[in-house]
Structure 1
């Protein structure tokens, strides 16, 4: 697999922050660029109502499907799709959208605009965009805060 999973340090800190912000059992989550599905499994293990895991790579997608099935995670719904196209046609709204696009993916910052402009967040919802230090979203309207954990940055946006 060629995924770059979120570091354990960053993931642990992210979920410590989220535990104080949301009731996982009341959340529908969208995990974009799911890779191995580690973020999806974290949300599911905390009782998220549903987790839609979008991954374009067939090997990764099949891994998420198989692992969710083996773990009995009936709330994880893998989708094999291009994340950009998925956001343009998705009819559903979510409480949390998490995006871990490859850091070197050209146009990855466009995910923020697509999520916010296409009404994919419910009122009070959060978009969490993982990125490198080279990106800055603090000038965006819905920007709420930046959390930094080593080389991993999480920009939070609130609706």
Structure 2
């Protein structure tokens, strides 16, 4: 009997996964669905970023409300929850991805995590209208689709005083040369933001931002 071909290409070897770096669920694996080409934030990048965030927040995770607008594998949102964030809201549009996030949430008994199947930009607008505010927002959208220029202006209305945004992209954000202080070279959507830290790992450019 002839075997049927899989309905989507499968990567050889064990399924791709990442791991939670720190906190209560340290070393817990998070599966990454092959079918949708998810690109989770690499472990070493998350380690660096959460060190930055911890320094800025003085490790006060138990009072932190977090929003992960392009959740994907959940690597960023579950990392924050593992470190004791008071609440984490994860948003993704893909049904299979959302079901996987719900599975991980149930496995971890993460009652302080909320998973939503919804459009990221629409969710941000709705949350702002309702007056919701967050201490930390994660933006790791698909590259080359101009999501950051649309999402960052919305985040300005979602942050609490002193709040932070983590933004990941395939290219450095166009802040220009900080030493020259050339404000005219910064696009309008980026001008309200101050770059706290930035780095690059391979093709991943990652940034920590706060409002000016």
TM-score, length-scaled by structure 2? 0.70
Q: Please give the alpha-carbon distance, in whole angstroms, between the structure 1 residues aligned to 2:149 and 2:90.
A: 19
The structure-2 alpha-carbon separation of the partners of 1:75 and 1:148, relative to structure 1 and needing over 3 Å to count, comes to same
Q: How well do the aligned residues superpose, as a CA RMSD in angstroms?
A: 1.5
Local SS of the residue matching 1:84: helix
Gaps (5+ residues) in structure 1?
A: none
> Among 62, 73, 87, which residue is 1:36 paired with?
73
Is 2:185 the counterpart of 1:126?
no
Higher gyration radius (CA): 2
> Among 77, 95, 106, which residue is 2:114 paired with?
77
1:46-97, Cα deviation, whole Å (9 max, x unpaired): 0000000011111111111111111111111001111011111112100001
- What's the CA shift for 1:21? 1.4
User: More deviation in 18-27 or 132-141?
Assistant: 132-141
Aligned length: 157
Structure with greater contact order relative to length (CA < 8 Å, sep ≥ 6) = 1
TM-score, length-scaled by structure 1? 0.91
Q: Please give the alpha-carbon distance, in whole angstroms, between the structure 2 residues aligned to 1:135 and 1:123.
A: 23
1:80-124, Cα deviation, whole Å (9 max, x unpaired): 1110111111121000011100112234321111111xx100001
User: More deviation in 11-20 or 139-148?
Assistant: 139-148
Local SS of the residue matching 1:53: strand
1:111-148, Cα deviation, whole Å (9 max, x unpaired): 111111xx100001011111122542463222233411
Gaps (5+ residues) in structure 2?
A: 1-32, 177-185
